[in-house]
Chain A
Amino acid sequence: MTTALVPARHYLNDGYGIKSWLLTRDHKRIALLYLAGVTFFFFIGGAFAVLIRLELATPVGDLVSDETYNKLFTMHGVMMVFFFLIPAIPSVLGNFLIPIMIGAKDLAFPKLNLASWYIYMLGAAFTTYAIVTGGLDTGWTFYTPFSTVASTSAVIPAALGIFITGFSSILTGLNFIVTIHQMRAPGMTWFRLPLFIWSHYATSLIMVLGTPVLAITILLVAAERLFHFGFFDPAVGGDPVLFQHLFWFYSHPAVYIMILPAMGVISELVAAFCRKPVYGYPFVAFASLAIAVLGFLVWAHHMFVAGISVYAAMIFSILSFLVAIPSAVKVFNWTATMYKGSVSWQTPMLYAIGFIGLFTIGGLTGLFLAAVGLDIHVTDTYFIVAHFHYIMVGGTIMAYLGGLHYWWPKISGRLYNEWLAKFSALVIFIGFNLTFFPQFILGYLGMPRRYHAYPPEFQVLNVLSSAGASILGVGYLLPMAYLMWSLRYGRLASDNPWGAVGLEWNTTSPPPTENFAEPPEVTWEAYDYGSPVVEEHV
């Protein structure tokens, strides 16, 4: 593993110049285009978060006006959810890895894949336009009638941007589904697929089934705002609660678009760094599908105080408890995999452990919120904010970074500085908990979300949170810096630097444009550590 050589031909040196990137059909290059896009919007979203936390460092509204503050948290949420978190893992890691992991030369529809990136960027351009021309103040949830009759901010371009980006998500999901069905290498049966593939398959189902409902909902909002059509406006007998139903019918499943790919990454990391097959493989695989299905049946838990009937609330509460079961199956199976495994504590594994802990906290507090009585107490408080950040940031971003580190040698052909990477993982973990744990307490004590001022007795916890946010910010800048640095100065990576099992490790680092010198044939089970066929490849 010491004498790594750059392969003579690989996807990065197959054509130079801007055109070879902007017109590429190679899923690996498209993945890197997405990487550039989502990283950019992550830092834009992050800049809004910095301003939010600065404002909240003092109890009085001194830094920005209340109206500006509304725009800050809205644009933070919109950027982070629609332009960073939803595409992040599927479009970057999924795009790069799915064809390689199943032994294919590319996704089923390479041109469509490139089109998806352009659609994503076009949508982002519209929403960015909304941000610079007056901003958006509806909250990322666009609740009517505020968004259709009251708000004076740039609702239409922002909504249009999200509508457009939705099609990028739909087409990516479609491409993944067809690829996984049709393009598997000989011998790559469904139950030999890496769990990363299963979780992306489940994610793609949600993208294809959920996103169109968001699209039509946004369209109705736009028609109501632009042409005074009546769908949700009480003035003509419309029902704003119907908007919430339609919105959450997508947006609850959308949180699984954000978390399922992360779970897929964690399965890969845990297996690779414990050198064991994932415990209970079929259960983990089916848990992904179960989450995708059950995720469509729980949306009204976001509406317990919106005036839905007690019976509806009870049913949605029970269904929400059910969705925790497959999630817990995964957590237990990862822990069972680690149990008595020879765990090696490299950077990706640190992120995986971080994910498991933080996702568990996020998930368990989700159960608090699924209980109607408790939810009514903490709804619209910082408890909610803490809950979803534990999942979105503590869960998904941890997994995203873990995956990025794990596959970085494959993507770039270079190794990063392990010591710095471990240090940053630690900084991020500490910064994250310091930012968001106090918010659980604040919410429990009754601090409402979406206000720029608060009673002075909440200041200590808010200052802690703001301090944590600055640590977290540094933590995110570090990987950005040393990963870029490694592109030029990092040591060369061997084909399989982790000694891991999986088709992506059977090709060169970086892989050739057609992914494999010889079309692979699979004769081993998933994560078959220790079996003679596999050890020969490792």
Chain B
Amino acid sequence: MSDVHAHPALAHHFDSLEEQKEAATLGMWVFLVTEVLFFGGLFATYAIYRTWYPDAFAAASHELDVTLGTINTAVLITSSLTMALAVHAAQLGQRAKIMVFLALTMALGGVFLGIKSVEYYHKFAEHLIPGPGFQFEKEHIRHAQIFFSLYFVMTGLHALHMIIGFGIMLVMLWWTWRGTITAEYYSPIEISGLYWHFVDIVWIFLFPLLYLIGRHAH
């Protein structure tokens, strides 16, 4: 608008910050719908093979490290909390607090990825990478490869989403630091939060589906 007092963050093609915020929020939700279908293809594949090969999946799942998986789950849920606190601080325009909570969220994300790498390394050392070098008990050696293929692709894509989340957090830190984020204009932090929570929720599904199959029977 030709309003000389327009907020510096207001893009030329919106009438008000309010409208701009609504558009950004809707945009993020639509993007998350896309993400649901992206992971949905994997979950569908998982569901089919798990139904076909329940024993192999249970046996392969036993090779995963439940302790590390549980710790990671807790770490990630905590990072969701710190993210929510960052959003809250943003609504109040508390610059220092936003930056602290964003940094904490990133640190927790870093712990998660660190633990994940340790797990990956163990799988590598135990010859559990699907392909010609795969080693497993004779009975399940074929179908267990499907499980580990799914394991690596699902957790790998999840990790990739976290790394993208890191990039977003860095931008948010930068914007907060230079003063773009204010109590009037905090929607970037809010929609980054939506993204981060989504990534956490994916893990909440991955954890039981991959780590906890058939535990009750043993």
Interface of A with B (CB < 8 Å)? 104-106, 108-110, 170, 174-175, 177-178, 181-183, 208-213, 215-217, 219-220, 223-224, 227-231, 235-239, 242, 246, 249, 514
Output the least CB separation between A249 and chain B (Å): 8
- Residues of B participating in the A interface, judged by any CB pair closer than 8 Å: 11-13, 19, 22-23, 26-27, 30-31, 33-35, 37-42, 44-45, 48-49, 52-53, 129-132, 142-143, 145-146, 149-150, 152-153
20 residue pairs of the A-B complex, CB under 8 angstroms, read A105-B12, A106-B12, A106-B13, A109-B23, A110-B13, A177-B26, A178-B26, A208-B34, A212-B37, A212-B38, A213-B41, A215-B38, A219-B153, A220-B45, A230-B142, A230-B146, A231-B146, A231-B149, A236-B142, A237-B49
CB-CB under 8 A from B39, the residues of chain A are 216
Bound Cα distance from A110 to B24, whole angstroms: 12
The residue in chain B whose Cβ has the minimal distance to the Cβ of A239 is: B48
Question: Which A residues touch B53, using CB under 8 A?
Answer: 237
Q: Is the CB of A228 within 8 A of B132?
A: yes
- Minimum Cβ distance to chain B for residue A251 (Å): 13
Cβ 8 A contact of B146, one of A105, A177, A211, A238: A238
Residues on the B chain within 8 Å of A224, using CB: 149
- Give the residue of A217, A223, A227, A235 whose beta carbon is less than 8 angstroms from that of B41: A217
B23 touches A182 (CB 8 A): yes
Q: Judge whether B41 and A178 touch: CB under 8 Å.
A: no
Measured CA separation A220–B45 after assembly (Å): 10
A174-B31, A219-B153 known; A183 vs B23 contact (CB < 8 Å): yes
Complex alpha-carbon distance, A231 and B19, angstroms: 45
Q: How far is the CB of B98 from chain A (nearest CB, A)?
A: 24
Which residues in B have their C-beta under 8 angstroms from that of A177?
Answer: 26, 30
For the complex, what is the distance from the CA of A229 to the CA of B35, rounded to whole Å? Answer: 23
Chain B residues whose CB sits within 8 angstroms of the CB of A237 once the complex forms: 49, 52-53, 142-143, 146
B153 touches A223 (CB 8 A): yes
In-complex Cβ contact of A213 among B13, B22, B37, B131 (8 A): B37
- When the two chains form their complex, are residues A229 and B149 in contact, meaning their CB atoms are under 8 A apart? yes
Closest 7 CB pairs of A and B: A228-B131, A212-B38, A216-B41, A229-B149, A105-B13, A106-B13, A212-B37
A229 x B23 contact (CB < 8 A): no
CB distance from A47 to the nearest CB of B (A): 34
CB of A170 within 8 A of CB of B142, answer no
Name which of B26, B37, B52, B132 has the most chain A CB atoms within 10 A of its CB. B37
Q: Check A104/B40 contact, CB under 8 A, given A174-B31, A209-B33, A227-B130.
A: no
Say yes or no: B30 contacts A174, CB within 8 Å.
yes
Chain A residues near B33: list those with CB within 8 A: 208-209
Given A223-B149, A223-B153, A228-B132, the answer on whether A174 and B142 have CB atoms closer than 8 Å is no
Chain A min CB distance to B165 (Å):
17
Q: Is the CB of B152 within 8 A of A229?
A: yes
Bound CA–CA A237/B40 (angstroms): 21
List A contacts of B142 (CB < 8 A). 230, 235-237
Known contacts: A177-B30, A208-B34. The answer to whether A104 contacts B42 by CB under 8 A is no
A229 & B48 in contact (Cβ 8 Å cutoff): no
